[in-house]
Amino acid sequence: MNSFQPLQSRYVLPSFVERTAYGVKESNPYNKLFEERIVFLGVQVDDASANDVMAQLLFLESDDPDREISIYINSPGGSFTALMAIYDTIQYVRPDVRTICLGQAASAAAVLLAAGTKGKRLALPNSRILIHQPSVEGIYGQVSDLEIQAAEVQRMRELLETTLAKHTSRSQEQVREDIDRDKILTAEQAVEYGIIDEVLPYRKLSAQKS
């Protein structure tokens, strides 16, 4: 009997060679974006991706503290602690931070989208934005440990509520009610909610109209 193994493939990031005044250097799309002060968050929000984003933000601030930084987001969300580490860094650095959603900004990523500089939070027309309460893994241990963990979960939820309320047009009470279940928003609905400020038109269509 023949056995068939499923084909496995993944997208391989292309690299290319550039000629410069100092010789030849190899580059890739992420490096080119970084040269334009664009940070791309296209993975789950975890400790590794948070460290990458924070390091890029801090470097770009030191490189030019008065020039805007852009964060492009296409992420399913992830760790709450990793989220808050990136969030604090966005608020800490001096440059304005423009946030743009491409595809989706779910859970933790939605908070990062909202955390950009007011007036500079954007999304493409078919973007999907999802907000909900922090999720936790199974909690085990002694009663005293369970009480500590339960208090921490409550603290995380309250922090999420106040953070979203601060960056949107909603009250903390409204946010609390909304995140009790998954709340999925279109780009236009995200504008109404206050998570973003504008839906970006397609450049091609804008060029044709002009």
Distance of CA 16 to the CA centre of its chain: 27
Kindly list the domain boundaries of the chain, sorted by start residue: 17-203
The yes-or-no answer on residue 135 being catalytic is no
Q: Is 107 annotated in the active site?
A: yes
Could you read off the pLDDT of 174-208 as tens digits, one per residue? 999 999 999 999 999 999 999 999 999 998 766 66
Whole-prediction pTM: 0.86
Fold of 17-203: 2-enoyl-CoA Hydratase; Chain A, domain 1 (3.90.226)
Tokens 């966005």 appear where? 90
Q: Of residues 75, 79, 107, 127, which has the active-site annotation?
A: 107
**pLDDT tens track for 139-151:** 666 778 778 888 8
115 CB-near residues (< 8 Å, 6+ apart): 87, 90, 91, 97, 99, 163, 167
